[in-house]
Structures are given as structure tokens and as C-alpha cells.
Structure 1
Amino acid sequence: MTTADLDPSVLAGADMFDVLDAEGRREVLKAGMVRKLPLGKLIFAQGDAGETCHTLLEGRVKIVQTRPDGGQSVIRFIGPGEMYGTVAALMDKPFPADAVAVVDSLEIYWPIKVMRHLMTRFPQVAIRSAASAGNRLFELQSRVGELSGERVEQRIARALARLVRQAGRRTEAGIEIDFPITRQELAEMAGSTLHTVSRTLSAWEDREIIASTRRHVVVRKLHVLLDMADQGAS
């Protein structure tokens, strides 16, 4: 697949490019490269030179950082239209984490020299890139505050609430997170342990707040989950 196979409208909802008109999106699209990302594909690795900027078109990608002790933390799940890898590339820094496809996905990416040219050509793209990076910084700061000042049940509820906002789809059973997520990944997002997350989710299942399997979560009582996320009620 090449960019010639895609309509410029695929970038209409992208956080860096939704301010461009159709002709601008066509130029940006033409400058990039498209590739399919099969489930489990390592897109870039922590420590690799940041030489490419990425936008997801379809699917889901997780950003995973390996700590000095060898443990891992899920930093974020990337959805369609979101950029990733761009900040490191623009700063001439190595990628700070792995990017891995969690379902079959499709992305477009640009070498950093090309992206810098596009940002000069379309200053709106640079502004949107900075805004997106800033939003993620505020989100990360919020998560750090949660880890130091909130009960573990509240952190788990907040992690699930974020996933619902990012990837929730309505079904007859409730709001389903539309990609597979393991309890270990949820534990990493919430700064908890697999045992604690499993115990907490089981208790919430008994109360019919959620329904879950090893890799899928459906929120059945969103208002209760949001109350727990805001207030820490259990």
C-alpha cells in the first residue's frame, strides 16, 4: 500500500492535520509512507534514534517503557489520528519507549527532515504538534500525582475511565474497550500489581460494574466507575 491508495480525508481527524484543508492534507499525505502493522509489530524500540514521525490511521498501538530495574510500564495507548514518536524526533532524541501494535493496524510516517519541511510549509501542523505534546505532558503529570496521592482502587478506576474515553464503544453489554488489554497492562497503567488489579476487577464484576475476560473489558455501570475515579469510593 502507498499513499496514492489513500484519500486525503484519512487525515481529517488526525490531531496534527485536522486544521489543514483537503489540498494541504493531500500534500502531507503524499510526503509520507504508509505501512501495515500486524499484531505484535515493533514499530520502534526504546533507545532507537528518533528519526521518524508517526500518525496512526487504523488500529491501536501501545507505548511501553522499560525501567532500569527491567520492569515495564504501559505509558499510553495510541488510537487512530494520534501522533507518536514525533516529539523525540523533533528534539533529535532517542525514542524513550517501545511502540507495539496491539491489533492489526495501519500507520503513516515521515522522516524527520520531511516533517520539519512540512511544519515550515504548514505552521499550523507545528502548532498542533506542540499542543498535542503539551496535552500528553499534562496527562502524564496528572498520572504521577495519582500514583502518589490516590488509593489503588481509584487509580485503577481512573485508568479504565481514560481507556473508555479513548477507545470505548457502546454495545448491548455496556461500553467495551475496543482493543485487547491484559490485566498486567492495566496494572502497569495504574501503578499497581497484577494481583491487586485482578482482585479489584473481580470485586467489580461481582457488583456488575464491569465484565471482563483476560484480554477484554466492558464497563457496565459507567457512572459508578466515574464516581470511583473521581472520589475513590469502593
Structure 2
Amino acid sequence: MPSPLCHALLRNLDLFRPLSDAQLETALHGAAPCRLEAGALAYVQGAPGAHFFVLLQGFLKVSQVTPEGEQIIVRYVNPGDMFGLACAMGQTCYPATVQAVQESLCLAWPAAAWTPFTASHPQLGAIALQTMGHRLQDAHQRIQELSNDEVEQRVARTLLRLINQSGRPTHDGIDVGFPITRQDIAEMTGTTLHTVSRLLSDWKQRGIVASGRKRIVLRSPAALARLCEHTPPPMDCAACLSCRDGSPAMETSIPVLATH
């Protein structure tokens, strides 16, 4: 059975907050806690879809290997997200690999429990369907970006998307929220490590981002949002900070990405 810590974490998640204590106990029947060290795998692409999961704490990276042997990062899993839903999609194997980017804690249910799980708690089943719908929409949006956007626009959109999903304010801007490398961004945007490094170095000089080892901080959300557009910003705005609305680190609102 899940520990009292797991119960406390569940109560802080939107997914389980509406459940009564009795409903929560029923939902947790058959669940087992699973702690993942940074770099550990929850499962690999092509393995039997034996479980479905909810992430309680930490962050996970979802990646796929294409038929051509290229690895791409599909998305990141945030606390409160369901993942490993092969059983919900009628698939026998996991379509992707899931790896912890930092120490993480999740709950795992046997795949055979999916039908009684959703039957007993229709609201959780509805959220799972909504989750799969959002992922399909995100996949379509990324395909459109790969087809229509320049590399700089794709990288800017990806960073804004990560900030919208998991960003946390810091003294010098808005941190992505978890360890992320330039290679990770390259795999998310269909470009090269060299290109991502060049863009981030340029944006750092212009005061748009601050970056370090496995860390990216957005200092000017408005400036990065302008880079997502097809029209280039005015010359002065591309080169200096004084024409922006206040100090970059003082910007508190995060522009929400438009859905194509």
C-alpha cells in the first residue's frame, strides 16, 4: 500500500483533490509506490505495457526512437500527470521510454486495474482521456511548427511551453523547473546541439535568458514571445534591454502560447 507520504502528496494534486477519503482509498487499491533516481528508467519503448502511473514528485522525460534510429524528446511529465497509458489506448506495449530527470516518486497500478479504476472513478477516467487529447493536440502543434517555423521560432516556442507547464519564479527570472540540457532542447525541436547553443548564447547576450549547466532561466518572457512571431522585432528591441517593459527579471507574467 502507498505510504502516508504518498497520501499527502496525492492530496496536493488536482487529479485527486476532488476525491473523498473513502474514494481515495479505493483509487489507491493495488497501487505501488515507485521511487526513481535521476537517470533511472520507468520503462522503455517497446516493453509490455504492464502498468499505468501517476507522478507524485519530480520530473520525467518521455522520448522515442524513430524508425531511422533518431531519438526525439516527446514531452516532460509534471507532478500530477498520468503516464504509461498504453492500456487506455488499447496498446500492449509502451510507445516511448520514460526516464527521471531528477529524483522522482510515482504510483504504479497494474494495467489490468485500468477498467475497474476508471469504472469506479469516472472523473479520473475523464481526466485520462483529456490528457491523451492534449497530448495529441500538442503532437499536431509540433508537426505544424516543424513544417512552418524557423529554428529560432521553434526553440523559442519550446522554451515558452516548458515555462508555461512547469516554470517557477526565481530572483533572476523564471526557471524551467527541472534539469534540462541543450541537447534535450535540440531533440525537442528537430535541430542540432550547435544551433541550440548558438541561439541560447545569443539570447543570453541580449538578456532574454540566463543559462548554466542543465539550467535555463527566462529573464524576459515578452522578448522571447516576440521571437515566436514570424515578423522580426524592431532593431532596438532586439539589441537592448532599456526599451522593454522594465527589467527582464521583474517581468512576472508568462505569455501563453497560442494554439494553432
Same-fold call, TM cutoff 0.5: yes
Q: How does 1:72-221 map to 2 (within 5 A)?
A: 72-86=71-85, 88-90=86-88, 91-221=90-220
Following the alignment from structure 1 to structure 2, what is the Cα–Cα distance between the partners of residues 193 and 117?
45
What is the DSSP-based 3-state SS (H/G/I as helix, E as strand, rest coil) of the residue aligned with 1:95? coil
Residue 194 to residue 127, structure 1, CA distance change in 2 (3 Å)? same
Alignment match, 1:224: 223
Q: Supply the AA of the counterpart residue of 1:89.
A: C
Q: TM-score, normalised by structure 2?
A: 0.84
2:69 is equivalent to residue 70 of structure 1: yes
**CA 1:59–1:7: 2 relative to 1, 3 Å:** closer
After TM superposition, the structure 1 stretch with the greater mean CA deviation from structure 2, 8-17 or 201-210, is: 8-17
Q: Is the 8 A contact 1:56 1:78 kept in 2?
A: yes
Q: Across the two proteins, how many residue pairs are aligned to each other?
A: 232
Does the 8 Å CA contact 2:6/2:56 hold for their aligned counterparts? no
Structure (1 or 2) with the greater helix fraction: 1
Q: CA RMSD in A?
A: 1.7
Distance 1:137 1:95 in 2: 16
Cα distance, 1:18 vs. partner?
4.2
Aligned-partner SS, 1:65: strand
**Matched AA of 2:22:** E
| DSSP 3-state at the match of 1:47 | coil
AA in 2 matched with 1:116: T
Gaps of 5+ in 1: none
In 2, Cα distance between equivalents of 1:166 and 1:93: 29
Distance 2:113 2:20 in 1: 19
- Structure 1 distance, partners of 2:143, 2:24, is 36
Query: Residue 21 in 1 paired to residue 41 in 2?
Result: no
User: C-alpha offsets along residues 15-38 of structure 1, whole Å, 9 cap, x if unaligned?
Assistant: 654443332122212431101110
Query: Deviation of residue 223 (structure 1)?
Result: 1.1
What CA distance in whole angstroms lies between the structure 2 residues aligned with 1:233 and 1:175? 24
Q: CA deviation at 1:102?
A: 0.6
Shift of 1:216: 0.6
**Matched-pair contact (CA < 8 Å) for 2:63–2:72:** yes
Q: Which has the larger radius of gyration?
A: 2
> Is the Cα–Cα contact under 8 Å of residues 63 and 100 in structure 1 kept in the other structure?
yes
Distance (whole Å) between structure 2 residues aligned to residue 183 and residue 145 of structure 1 = 22
Alignment-mate amino acid for residue 68 of structure 1: P
Structure-2 change in CA distance of 1:232 and 1:97 (3 Å): farther
What is the identity percentage for the equivalent residue pairs of Structure 1 and Structure 2? 37
Q: Deviations over 1:144-187 (max 9, x none)?
A: 10000011100000100011012211111100112111101101
Gaps of 5+ in 2: 234-260
TM-score, normalised on structure 1?
0.93
CA contact (8 A) 2:53 2:106 kept: yes
Q: What residue number does 2:30 align with?
A: 31
SS of structure 2 residue aligned to 1:224: helix
Moved more, 113-122 or 168-177: 113-122
Letter in structure 2 aligned against 1:133: M
Partner of 2:46: 47
Q: CA shift at 1:107, angstroms?
A: 0.4
Aligned to 2:253: none
